[in-house]
């Protein structure tokens, strides 16, 4: 029979049956053992699909245009990375590429890869490895830090040039709460169990 450990008092208990949307309470200390997220696969799948669309828009379109002395410069995410690389800042260029493109792309792509077949109760090949990688990628996905950096730059540059926010900036802004929502609605324990049952 499956056992569960209490994070608050370290008691090891027999795992109780919990309905979707409910929570299990520790018999000894009254702390919450775990919660069962309602429709976790469906909600997380919907949010991941939205995130994938926004991520493509955020990378394909310019996020800022600068107008200075009649000249307009458009910047995309990749042009920023190339500018850093050309300036000899190789480590920073790779860090920006890793934390704003590669890690979020892996996180979103692998979530879709694991959850879409799970919705139809069919196993994805290497679902265990893929879901493990999702959990590894999450701490490296730092779009919100990047967006704060953009806002700081915009405030500093606003005296020198006229700045026009592009469609990618709005896509980035929307992507952050949607990715955060995907993380909070994801019941990893439930997904692990379903992957395990399917194998």
**Residues of this chain that bind Zn ion (CB under 5 A):** 6, 8-9, 11, 26, 28-29, 31
Q: Which is nearer to Zn ion, 28 or 119 (CB)?
A: 28
Looking up tokens 């077949």, which residue turns up? 117
We find the least distance from the C-beta atom of residue 189 to Zn ion, in angstroms, to be: 17
- Work out whether strand 12-14 and strand 71-75 pair parallel, antiparallel, or are unpaired: unpaired
Q: Considering beta carbons, is residue 34 or 55 the nearer one to Zn ion?
A: 34
Query: What is the smallest separation between the CB atom of 34 and Zn ion, expressed in angstroms?
Result: 12
Residues 100 and 63 sit within 8 Å (Cβ to Cβ) = no
DSSP characters over 64-128:
EEEEETTEEEEE-HHHHHHHHHHTT-HHHHHHHHIIIIIHHHHHHHHHHHHHHHHHTT-PPTTHH
Nearer to Zn ion, 8 or 89 (CB): 8
Shorter beta-carbon distance to Zn ion: residue 8 or 121: 8
DSSP assignment letter at 159: T
């Amino acid at each position: 029979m499956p056992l569960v450990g209490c994070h608050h008092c370290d008691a090891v208990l027999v795992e109780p049956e919990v309905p979707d949307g409910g929570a299990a309470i520790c018999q000894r200390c009254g702390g919450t053992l775990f919660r069962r997220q309602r429709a976790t696969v469906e909600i997380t799948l919907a949010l991941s699909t939205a995130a994938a669309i926004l991520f493509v828009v955020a990378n394909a379109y310019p996020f800022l245009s600068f107008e200075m002395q009649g000249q307009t410069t458009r910047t995309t995410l990749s042009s920023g990375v190339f500018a850093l690389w050309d300036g000899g800042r190789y480590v920073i260029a790779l860090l920006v590429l890793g934390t704003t493109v590669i890690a979020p792309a892996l996180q979103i792509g692998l979530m879709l890869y694991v959850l879409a077949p799970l919705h139809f109760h069919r196993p994805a090949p290497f679902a265990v490895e893929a879901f493990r990688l999702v959990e590894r990628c999450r701490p490296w996905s730092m779009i919100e830090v990047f967006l704060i950096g953009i806002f700081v730059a915009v405030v500093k540059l606003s005296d020198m040039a006229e700045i026009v926010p592009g469609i990618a900036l709005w896509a980035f802004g929307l992507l952050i709460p949607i990715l955060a929502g995907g993380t909070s609605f994801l019941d990893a324990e439930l997904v692990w169990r379903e992957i395990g049952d399917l194998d």
